Structure 1
Amino acid sequence: MTVLSVDERQQLAQSVRAACERLSPEDRVRSVAYDGRQQDRGFDAELWKVLCTQVGVTAIGLPEELGGAGYGASALAVVAHELGRSLAPVPFVASAVLATGLLLETDGADARLSALIEGERTAAAVLTDDGGLWRPENVAVSADGDALTGVARHVLHGAAADDLVVIASAGGELAVYAVDAGAPGVSIVEERVLDGTRPMATVTFTDAHATRLPTEAPVSELVSRTVDVAISVLSAEQVGACERVLEIATDYARTREQFNRPIGSFQAVKHKCADMLLDLEWARSASQAALEAVDDTDESAWRASMAKAVCSESLRNAAHANVQIHGGIGFTWEDSAHLYLRRARTDEVLFGKPAEHWDRLGAKADILCHAHP
């Protein structure tokens, strides 16, 4: 696996940030996420096309033989970090990481991957019945031959997807299927969500025709690996959002005056900013540990859970503190504080709540304790 140099990481980050600043400033994010047409809401197609074709965000994690750059999750995390800072309404985690990662684990998906690389199509993954923590018993879709039946809720970026990568139960075993989102028997209904930059949908299959994609490894294992990568990349996105929240809070604390002095000079505000910085560094370390694990070690499961729990709680705490530092204006629609709070609360439950991941860590610790008394 090729590793990005420090200079390459900086150049990639600068390219993604420049694209987001130019094409997706805050007013554009608001427009796409909350004011767009129903079928387009939460998906900035213009920004996504530029990121795919000019920056190459969909290709950096793919093997070179498939037209990619051959980098791992750490490179994907560089992109995610910048997208998290700007709350960019694009299906990076849903399409470029999760759905693409699943397709990479199958045979015969080259044509689909090519379209995803070019940004011509987007994909969404249908894994569980509630979009939460991956467990094989929570699979919502069943297969009878090439026909799928079932209902999956909270499918991330499901309404904008052209292709669906579905994990279904087929004759008592799990299998991977590819489905055209516009095929007969497929119904996709956009859900009301807290965070418009994270659109979700309910996907219903009624004897929908699907193509089974053969796999070498057991499907449960390959899904677990892919979800660990997605969680690790999501944690980098959360770190980026947390970093930006701290910048917004400290800038406001320096410029907002009360009693003829900046509010940042008051001890209570200083403490909140200091706590936000500690949370940010804690999250950064946890995210980095998870990314290194999914690229280089076999400890990705517990490190991904650690990153998900730590980064979710850190971003949530920082977003709440930012609202409090802004005072009354922080509760208004006109201020950006609530946008990051919405993202924090939504990311908190994606792929499992922090408590569920702390439980996974606890179970891992119990196993280690019994193995090494």
Structure 2
Amino acid sequence: MRKIILSLLYVGIFLGLGACVDPYEVEIESGAQLLTVDGMITTDPGRHSIKLTRSDTYGSVFEGLIRPVSLATVLVRNQDGVVTYLTEDSEVKGNYLTPEGFAAKAGDTYTLQIQLQDGKTYTSLPETVGNPVPMGNIDYYSVEFPVEGELEPESGVRFVVDVEDPSDENNFYYWRTENAMFEVNARPDLYMDRETRAPAPKDCCFTCYLAESVGNRSMFIATDDDFNGLSTKVTAMFIPDDGLRFITTFRMDLRQLTISASAYRFLRLVKQQTELSGSVFDPPPANIRGNMISLDDPDEVVLGYFMVAGETNERMYIHGADLDYRQPLSLIADDCRVVVGAEENPPSDWNP
């Protein structure tokens, strides 16, 4: 009986307090909408892209944190005043492209200039294009990472590049992967009706081709402070194995970019921040200022970096059978076209 009386007393106190407190409405400011610039031009002929987005530092239920910035005027200008206009991609808003076949010239200096629809203007600090450095031999091999409590380790493929570093200049390197694509293998003959669970084999399709943007575990950069003028091996890429990529054939273009010292410092800070361990000893995350400034308000924070680079690249085909370890097969008991983005026919340049 005593327990019941005490419980009723606590409930009465709680309800009484609730009746005496007026609700307090908190209005939270949405935060600054920061312009973010992401892109580069290189010495490799093609259509180079600059992406413009707006990101909120905080917003209602975190909706629309990243939005493309459309209908801007975007151009690059070299030290001689030669201007190249970029046009907005008709399919991807906020993505601005150089003309076909455009290539930056090694040794030239470029600035990126932007005018938004509301009239605000931005410019980058000048960036000078480095000389392309040829890539030597590229080795790749599988690596495993034991996972506590799991029978199967995590794994992936590591790429190591032979760099023949020039001795007459201080070089800064940045490696990226583009145009990743792989064969998707499926078993439509094992398909079962979802309602009856009875076998209902399909005739098509066993093999498809999937293009993707591979998420890397790290940012791969290097400076030749320790190997200036020497030949050395540098880890240039790591591609995680998700149980699908390396079943048969995986393709990618490995890009070796020689960037400026200031671009290298920017990427090193980004790398340090993205690889924080999550412990209490980590420094608090912060916006990293790039080389973009507002001409209307010098105090405005503009995120991102406009890069220029000398580029060499090589297309690689990785055959899963050549790897020492692969993740267990992720079986697709259906038509391979059910995988979002998968195409039945290979691209015209598929040549493993």
Larger helix percent: 1
Q: Which structure would you say has the larger RCO, counting Cα contacts within 8 Å and 6 or more residues apart? A: 2
